[in-house]
Amino acid sequence: MNIKLNISTKVAHLISIFSAFIILLFFAYKAVIAYLIHRELYGGGIDILVLLRSSIAGMMFLLILLFIQFMKINDLKSQRTILIGIFIGWTSVFITLLIIKLSSIYFIVLTGMSSLVILITLFSLVDQIKEQKNTLTDKEVYLLQKLAKKK
């Protein structure tokens, strides 16, 4: 596909980091509020609701760390594979939210926009990979020049 809109893979990762951070903040806030309410009502301990919300916040934190590590990878084919996985993840969350909880419109929009940006990035990345196949690297040019001088 010939897409005029080129979005860098780093921008796609930053948008995923932003989305995961918003979800992390929401569930961490909900977990703290649920813990405070449970402590006031029952005098201590931890409720399953607090545990689930803090687990989701913890998973989002780990995802943010993964996205930061993924930004360091420069190989286009590896970036494409990673972005396909991230796209599947955000799209599955988007569709699940549409089916299960239509009232959480903010999360639906957030995950939908993340999926859309990653999809556009994937299309532009395919074009970049095709262009990269047709060009020689600096090392290949150097080796060809050395080979030409030997003859």
Instruction: Indicate the pLDDT class of residue 9, thresholds 50, 70 and 90.
Output: confident
- Least confident span in 13-22, 71-80, 109-118: 71-80
Rounded-to-integer distance, Cα 106 and Cα 136, Å: 46
pTM of the model: 0.81
Beta-carbon-side half-sphere exposure of residue 120 (alpha carbons within 13 Å): 16
pLDDT at residue 1, rounded to an integer: 53
User: What amino acid is encoded at 28 in this protein?
Assistant: A
Tokens, residue 144: 């060809």
DSSP character for 151? -
Q: CA nearest 7: which of 128, 120, 137?
A: 120
Instruction: Indicate the pLDDT class of residue 142, thresholds 50, 70 and 90.
Output: confident
Instruction: Indicate the pLDDT class of residue 107, thresholds 50, 70 and 90.
Output: very high
Mean pLDDT in residue range 40-62:
90
Gyration radius of the chain's alpha carbons? 22
pLDDT at residue 65, rounded to an integer: 96
Mean pLDDT in residue range 62-81:
90
pLDDT at residue 18, rounded to an integer: 95
pLDDT at residue 3, rounded to an integer: 55
- Average pLDDT over the chain, rounded to whole? 88
Residue corresponding to tokens 């419109």: 105
Neighbours of 133 (CB within 10 A): 8
DSSP character for 8? -
pLDDT at residue 2, rounded to an integer: 58
Mean pLDDT in residue range 30-34:
93
pLDDT at residue 124, rounded to an integer: 86
Q: CA nearest 27: which of 11, 19, 13, 85?
A: 19
Backbone angles phi, psi at 45, to 5 degrees: 80, -175
Buried b (16+ CB within 10 A) or exposed e, 54-91: bebbeebeebbebbeebbeeeebeebbebbeebbebbb
